[in-house]
Amino acid sequence: MLAKRIIPCLDVKDGRTVKGINFEQLRDAGDPVELGKLYSDQGADELVFLDITATKEKRKTLATLADRVAHHLNIPFTIGGGIGSIADVDVLLNHGADKVSVNSSAVRNPELIDELAKEFGSQCIVVAIDAREVDQEWIVHVAGGTIPTDKEMFDWALEAQERGAGEILFTSMNHDGTKNGFALGPLKKMCAILSIPVIASGGAGSIDHFYEVFDYAKADAGLAASIFHFQEIGIPELKENLKSRGINVR
C-alpha cells in the first residue's frame, strides 16, 4: 500500500498566501515561498500552490512563482490557476513544477485533459474539483468556486480519470475553512469508484480529521491550509500521531 501523503496547500492571490472560509473572507497568511520552505523542512510530502483568482481574472499563473519555489524547495509541488493549454503547462513544468492542476478550463473543455495527458503524461496532471452539495447532489463549481455548472461531481471525476487525469483533488466547498472535518461520505465514495489517487481537501481542523480521511474514506492524501499556516498543527506531530495509530505515512 502506498504511503499516505500530507500536503499543505497555499492559495495565492497577488503574490501572497491567503486563506478564507467557504472560499470567502480571505486573510493574509504570508509569503508562499517562505511558507513552502518551512513546510518542506517540517516533512511535508508535497505542496500545492493555487493562484485562486487566475481564472476569474483571466490571468495566467505566474511562471515566476514556479521558478522561485523550485529554487528553494526539494519536494514535489503542483501549481494551478488559469491553466488552459499545452503551452501553459509547458512553461510551468520547464520552470520547475512537478505537476499542474487544472480545474475550470477542463470543465469547459474536457478534451484538454486528454491533450495534456498525451503530451506530458498522466502523472503530471491533477484535475481539481471544487464542489458544493446542493439538494443532496454534489455540483461542480468553476472560477474559484463562484460559478455552478451542470456537472455532477462523481460523473465528472470518472470522466476526468478516463480522459487521463493522474490524480483528483476534491475540495468540498461546504467544508472549506470550517475546520469541522473533511467530507468523509463523498470522499469514501469517490475513492471507491476511482482507480487513481484522490487528494482530500476542505475542512481539516484536527489530527483526528486526517486519521478519519485516511482510515475511513481511504483518501490517498490529505490537504490542508489554515491549520498549517496559522500553526495550529505541526506536520511532525501530525505524522507521528498517524503512525502511532497504524496509518502508513511517509
130 annotated active-site: yes
Per-residue confidence (pLDDT) for residue 64, from 0 to 100:
83
Asked, for residue 227, whether it belongs to a domain, the answer is yes
Per-residue confidence (pLDDT) for residue 31, from 0 to 100:
83
CB 161 within 8 A of CB 195: yes
Q: Which member of 45, 51, 130, 176 is catalytic?
A: 130
Q: Which member of 11, 51, 176, 220 is catalytic?
A: 11
Distances (CA, A) of 155 to 70, 75, 86, 129: 35, 32, 25, 11
Asked, for residue 117, whether it belongs to a domain, the answer is yes
Q: Domain total for the chain?
A: 1
Mean pLDDT of 111-137: 96
CB 93 within 8 A of CB 86: no
pLDDT digits (tens, 9 = 90+) for 162-191: 999 999 999 999 998 789 999 999 999 999
Mean pLDDT of 206-222: 98
Whole-number average pLDDT of the chain: 90
Asked, for residue 203, whether it belongs to a domain, the answer is yes
For residue 70, give the C-alpha cell.
523550485
pLDDT digits (tens, 9 = 90+) for 196-213: 999 999 999 999 999 999
Contacts of 52 (CB under 8 A, 6+ apart): 11, 12, 13, 18, 81, 144
Asked, for residue 68, whether it belongs to a domain, the answer is yes
pLDDT digits (tens, 9 = 90+) for 56-91: 554 455 688 889 899 999 899 999 988 899 999 999
pTM reported for the whole predicted model: 0.92
Asked, for residue 38, whether it belongs to a domain, the answer is yes
CATH of the domain at 114: 3.20.20.70
CB 71 within 8 A of CB 42: no
Asked, for residue 250, whether it belongs to a domain, the answer is no
41 annotated active-site: no
Mean pLDDT of 126-130: 97
For residue 98, give the C-alpha cell.
512537478
Asked, for residue 212, whether it belongs to a domain, the answer is yes
Distances (CA, A) of 66 to 89, 169, 227: 11, 19, 24
101 beta partners: 80, 126
139 beta partners: 132, 152
Strands (E), the chain: 5-13, 16-21, 24-30, 47-51, 77-80, 99-102, 125-134, 137-142, 147-152, 167-172, 198-201, 221-224
Per-residue confidence (pLDDT) for residue 171, from 0 to 100:
95
Nearest to 205 by CA among 235, 185, 188, 225: 225
Rounded to an integer, what distance in angstroms lies between the CA atom of residue 50 and that of residue 61?
8
10 beta partners: 49
What is the percent of the chain where pLDDT is above 90?
A: 68
Per-residue confidence (pLDDT) for residue 61, from 0 to 100:
54
Task: Indicate the pLDDT class of residue 18, thresholds 50, 70 and 90.
Answer: confident
Asked, for residue 249, whether it belongs to a domain, the answer is no
**Structural domain boundaries, residue 45:** 5-244
Question: How many other β-carbons are positioned within 10 Å of the β-carbon of residue 2?
Answer: 9
